[in-house]
Amino acid sequence: MLLLQGLAACSPENAAQNVVNETSASATATAGTPVADGKLVVAFGDSLYAGYGVLPQQSFPARLEQALKDRGIAATVRNAGVSGDTTAAGRRRLAFSLDGLPRKPDLVMVNLGGNDMLRGLDPAETRANLTAICEELKRRGIPIFLTGMIAAPNMGPDYTRAFNAIYGDLAKRYDAGLYPFFLDGVVRNQQLMLPDRIHPNPQGIDAIVAKVAPQVAATLKPR
């Protein structure tokens, strides 16, 4: 129930505020190391990437960029998060987002699906849209890293089973990096969440980055 209540904050009614956040966060995240001199990572998702309720420099992409630099990886993390996006909306804007970049990214991180679950959309539709996103990234030769979501238990066992399986299945199919649940270890800790109980506060974002950054760093290093 907390998950569903909080996800209301990701709805289109809040999109205007977060598009502003997303634009500002992009400017912050791309400051510093020029793209040509380092890795280019794109954080493509919804409000959890866009930076809902926090300052641009506190958003997940901005904090991830700093964490990578602290690990000796010169990287620019572009914030391509738009609040309220469903997987269908993300699918529609993917090509435009990629075509507007200065060059092909070294990695695209994808975090979509939470708003699908909020609206009770068929998990088969969510899977189809995320598959199309992964197919486009594969066609362009861009490595993928998925940060997944999980369904609220009150969606029912059949829905939960179908929805939760999506991210792991796609990670295997496309040889993608995977962090199964973006809010793992954070969503139930009120000290790490905004009052809406779905978006992490700055401390929560840092907690997530601490877990995700090592995996992203390993993906970016030469194999």
Burial of 69 (0-12, 13-18, 19+ CB in 10 A): middle
Residue 140 has pLDDT above 60, yes or no: yes
Domains of the chain in sequence order: 2-220 (3.40.50.1110)
Catalytic residue among 24, 47, 59, 83: 47
Q: For 23-27, what is the mean pLDDT?
A: 38
Q: For 100-109, what is the mean pLDDT?
A: 97
Q: Is 196 a catalytic residue?
A: yes
Give me the pLDDT at residue 222, please: 73
CB under 8 A, 24+ apart: contacts of 130-137: 130/87, 130/166, 130/167, 130/170, 131/170, 131/173, 132/91, 133/44, 133/87, 133/90, 133/91, 133/94, 134/110, 134/170, 134/173, 134/174, 134/176, 136/94, 136/95, 136/98, 137/94, 137/108, 137/174
Q: For 20-25, what is the mean pLDDT?
A: 38
Q: For 52-81, what is the mean pLDDT?
A: 97
Residue 18 has pLDDT above 50, yes or no: no
Q: For 11-16, what is the mean pLDDT?
A: 39
Q: What band does 214 get if pLDDT is binned at 50, 70 and 90? A: very high
Chain center to CA of 30: 17
Q: Is 199 a catalytic residue?
A: yes
Q: What band does 36 get if pLDDT is binned at 50, 70 and 90? A: low
Catalytic residue among 97, 106, 184, 196: 196
Q: Is 11 a catalytic residue?
A: no
Give me the pLDDT at residue 35, please: 58
Residue 54 has pLDDT above 60, yes or no: yes
Q: What band does 20 get if pLDDT is binned at 50, 70 and 90? A: very low
The answer to which of 12-16, 114-118, 142-146, 178-182 has the lowest mean pLDDT is 12-16
168 token code pair:
């792991």
Residue 97 has pLDDT above 50, yes or no: yes
